[in-house]
């Protein structure tokens, strides 16, 4: 899932999802699966993707990524540009996606939110891993020290 | 009744202009390429049809069965081999490359086929007509031409908005990097667009050759009719392109009635008028 969602503006919601499945990998995810997980997308399936709210667009981007049935799901800046309440909803959905053989790597500026969700975290500074471990093993100060390199 | 006749004949000729034009918005929409050699490719396809007919003796309409696939294959290779290398951030290189192609095609045709005018002979189809009203006879050929133009535009429209290929075209046009994440290689998507464009060019070339004499130098003139039809109708609206062609055809018919020398000029004047009043064309951009 690319940073900033990058939906295809001239395609409908459903067409965006179908394009995600273009690579034709087999796996658990298909249109019906996405629609039952995110009923709002089924409702808006024929709407132009850019007519949706930011949070809904983010869900389309997630759905589009899932449609390729990845082994490893890369989520770049999941919370970018979204309202806090929407961010909360989207994170609440993540446990229903990850698992069943699907691993996700999440790159996120909202550190608290990311730590609450993750099984493992890495802090990378200037291309080197400056801190890694279980999310609850370190204090906020330790993480920000590793993050800012101070 | 003369005027009614002029307008009806103009509408039918407009179908041919729409065929000249129909590939242009497809290419521009998908890859932002303005193909200066479009008109010369139409003429080259007329010569290809002429050669096939010369060798085999088949009817021009039947020759389409060969000309269309050859043209599409050529379009695919042309895009993969040359035009993809010219496309980039800058709009100038592809313009220069297609301008060069235009010069090469014209001179190549001159070398191969001489400057003599040629024509594709469609026999009775060319001269047959039926009376619609008194003083208004509809020729079978112009009617067929118009019907084919409508069918081509309806087909392109359907392809663009309802098929996997059309989806790939629109997605690549929106954001080719993200499309690549979905496994769509823009070079191949562009090559398919050019193949389809050349398929339409082949149809346009055969009808051009059946309708009138052609020689190696008339390509740029066909291109200007095509461009004008697209701009009058509004870029990004295929039915607008058909109506743009019709407006051009009717304007030329009326111009010719006033004075034979005004025929082409009248078309250009209407084009300039539309450009001055509605620079974005008469019809809005279409979505889905």
CB atoms A19 and B173 under 8 Å:
no
HEC per residue, B176-233: HHHHHHCCCCHHHHHHHHHHHHHHHHHHHHHHHHHHCCECCCCHHHHHHHHHHHHHHH
Residue A101's pLDDT is 79
Residue B103's pLDDT is 97
The Cα angle at residue B156 between residues B264 and B245, in degrees rounded to 5: 15
CB atoms A8 and B171 under 8 Å:
yes
Segment A43-76, tens digit of pLDDT: 999 999 889 988 889 899 999 999 998 888 999 8
The DSSP letter of residue A102 is B
CB atoms A8 and B287 under 8 Å:
no
The Cα angle at residue A13 between residues A12 and A17, in degrees rounded to 5: 115
Nearest to A8 among B164, B174, B183 (CB): B174
CB B227 within 8 A of CB B24: yes
Closest CA in chain A for residue B161: A11
pLDDT band at A80 (very low <50, low <70, confident <90, very high): confident
Residues of A in contact with B176 (CB under 8 A): none
Which portions of chain B are predicted below pLDDT 70?
287-288
Chain A contact residues (CB < 8 Å to B):
2, 6, 8-12, 15, 18-20, 22-23, 48, 64, 68
ipTM of this complex: 0.83
List, in order, residues 6 or more apart from B272 with CB less than 8 Å away: none
Segment A99-149, tens digit of pLDDT: 777 899 999 888 888 888 888 888 888 888 888 888 888 888 888 888 787
Segment B206-234, tens digit of pLDDT: 999 999 999 999 999 999 999 999 999 99
CB atoms B171 and A11 under 8 Å:
yes
């Amino acid at each position: 899932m690319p940073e900033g969602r990058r939906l295809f503006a001239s395609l409908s919601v459903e067409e965006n999802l179908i394009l995600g499945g273009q690579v034709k990998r087999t796996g658990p995810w298909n249109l019906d699966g996405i629609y039952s997980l995110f009923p709002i997308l089924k409702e808006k399936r024929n709407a132009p993707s850019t007519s949706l709210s930011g949070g809904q667009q983010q869900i389309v981007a997630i759905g589009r990524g899932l449609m390729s049935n990845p082994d490893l799901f890369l989520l770049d800046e999941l919370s970018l540009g979204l309202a806090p309440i929407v961010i909360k909803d989207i994170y609440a959905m993540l446990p229903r996606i990850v698992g069943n053989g699907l691993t996700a790597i999440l790159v996120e500026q909202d550190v608290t939110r990311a730590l609450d969700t993750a099984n493992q975290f890495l802090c990378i500074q200037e291309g080197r891993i400056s801190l890694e471990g279980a999310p609850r093993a370190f204090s906020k100060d330790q993480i920000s020290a590793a993050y800012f390199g101070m | 009744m003369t005027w009614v006749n002029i307008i009806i004949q103009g509408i039918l000729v407009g179908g041919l202009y729409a065929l000249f034009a129909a590939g242009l918005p497809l290419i521009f929409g998908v890859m932002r390429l303005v193909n200066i050699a479009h008109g010369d490719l139409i003429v080259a396809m007329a010569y290809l049809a002429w050669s096939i007919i010369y060798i085999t003796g088949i009817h021009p309409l039947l020759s389409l069965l060969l000309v269309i696939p050859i043209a599409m294959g050529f379009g695919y290779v042309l895009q993969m081999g040359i035009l993809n290398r010219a496309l980039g951030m800058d709009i100038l290189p592809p313009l220069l490359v297609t301008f060069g192609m235009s010069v090469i095609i014209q001179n190549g045709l001159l070398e191969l086929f001489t400057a003599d005018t040629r024509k594709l002979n469609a026999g009775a189809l060319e001269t047959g007509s039926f009376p619609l009203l008194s003083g208004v006879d509809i020729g079978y050929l112009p009617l067929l031409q118009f019907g084919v133009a409508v069918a081509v535009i309806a087909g392109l429209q359907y392809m663009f908005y309802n098929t996997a290929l059309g989806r790939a075209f629109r997605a690549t046009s929106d954001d080719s990097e993200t499309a690549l994440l979905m496994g769509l290689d823009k070079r191949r998507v562009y090559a398919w667009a050019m193949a389809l464009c050349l398929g339409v060019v082949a149809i346009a070339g055969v009808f051009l050759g059946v309708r009138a004499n052609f020689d190696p130098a008339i390509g740029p003139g066909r291109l200007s009719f095509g461009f004008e039809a697209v701009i009058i109708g509004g870029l990004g609206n295929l039915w607008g392109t058909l109506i743009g062609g019709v407006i051009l055809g009717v304007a030329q018919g009326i111009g010719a009635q006033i004075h034979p020398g005004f025929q082409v000029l009248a078309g250009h004047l209407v084009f300039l008028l539309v450009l001055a009043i509605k620079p974005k064309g008469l019809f809005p951009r279409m979505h889905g």
